[in-house]
Structure 1
Amino acid sequence: MRWPATLLGAAAGLALASIPGALLGGLLGYLLDRRLQLDSWPTFVRRLRGQVLPHGDELLFMLLGRVAKGDGRVLPEHIRLARGEMKRLGLDEAQQTLAIAAFGRGKHHERGWRLSLLPLRRDAVRAENWLRSCWAMARAGGAVSVASGERIRLWGRWMGLPAERVEQLAAEFEPVVKRSAPVRRHDDYAKALTLLGVSEASSAEQVKRAYRKLLSLNHPDKLAGQGASQAQLRAATERTRELHSAYAKVREQRGFR
């Protein structure tokens, strides 16, 4: 973690008034870093250029807007969930107006969000709550699409959450299966479709493309080359196994190679 204003203040103070100046300059810079949330040099440069990064409730509702719009159009269920999130956070009327505006902006772009999400590495509780809200929004329209799922997983990495924890949060919003009902072959087929992010109406070629894309994104060999941790590699190995099994089930049911 770098605190740019703190470092600059200390350097300037040292040049002007030796050690006491460095201490005073560093303190003033630290207060400025905290006030403006300057937690990295890229953030500092953006501030100098007048580019304000979204944060707090504004950023959360931009994320939710992006998830809602990710599959093409915003459904009434998405709006209902967004309203429920405002209520959960206890937003007043003015804050709700700002949240609605952020939700609308989030539907159209996600530029610079990585820098905005990095500070959540210091607040795992908030990071997890935000991802729960995102997974719930992704589930509002039915099965989580491939694009929405990978987008939320990417945000989780930016927030510093382990891959297995992100998957655990996703599992909280899986449809509940009644334990009293016997498991049928059709149930396994439906689960396989959901895991691949496709539907009964998807063509064989669409199923193959979805499978290959997910396999490429989650293959442990690829993550190993990116410096992933052992825990992340174990999670990737398990997810790859699940993808192989799901694809085999769909091929068997649909009768294509």
Structure 2
Amino acid sequence: MWGKILGALFGMALLKVPGLLLGLLIGHWFDKSYGGAFASRGGFNGFSRDKSEAQGIFRYNTFAVMGHIAKSNGVVTKSHIQQATAFMEQLGLTAAQKQEAQAAFRHGKQADFPLTEQLAEFKSAYRSRPDLLLMFLEIQISTAYVDLNLSSAEQRILAQVAFELGISTAQLQQMISRYEAEARFAKSSQSGTTDIANRLTDAYKILGVHADSSEAAIKKAYKKLMAQHHPDKLMSQGLPPELMDMAKQKTQDIQAAYELIRNHRG
């Protein structure tokens, strides 16, 4: 409907009656081809949706699912609590936001936590922002690995999170492999190791390419990852401001991996 209305108005303003008819035709084509997708995003209300509301949904669901993963093995470990607390500090949450995050974490720990329903709400708020859906999953992967081990229960939850968000199993496995490589790469960078062979292996995994990939393929993968994790882009999509440092760190890790590969190849 919106296509025909706007088409008619614009057409009338530009070309009077002939424009009205042309606008109706173009508007009808729009409604038929893209109207459903436009409506599913909230129509024009989607443009005016309160960004703080979406950011609150991101924040709440992040900590709720973190709590759910932490309790997946039966007992919430000290490492999970420390990680959640450190994450709150890292994000620089206000006192009120910390209380909300703690409440969300406790909600996620409950046996009757409605994971499917929570993820449905989250996806509804971010359905047109796939990069933020991926970042959400990356945060949950880091929660599952807080004790340096991925249990079968944690893996099942990650698989469900990916499924509910429309992320394929293959992409999830690639993200897990990338996370493991990033952790090793960061650790080796901090320790100043000279084990270039292993660092290179991890650098290729971070970019999702292979040692025999072409220069063009490596550059393409690098640019894609940088665009996906660019802080300004994520912020414009609704990323809570407190998560900006995480996005910046991600781009720095990607860039460091790319530069190591470039320097090695000469």
TM-score, scaled relative to structure 1: 0.46
* Higher relative helix content: 2
TM-score, scaled relative to structure 2: 0.45
Quick one: higher RCO (CA 8 Å, sep 6+), 1 or 2?
2
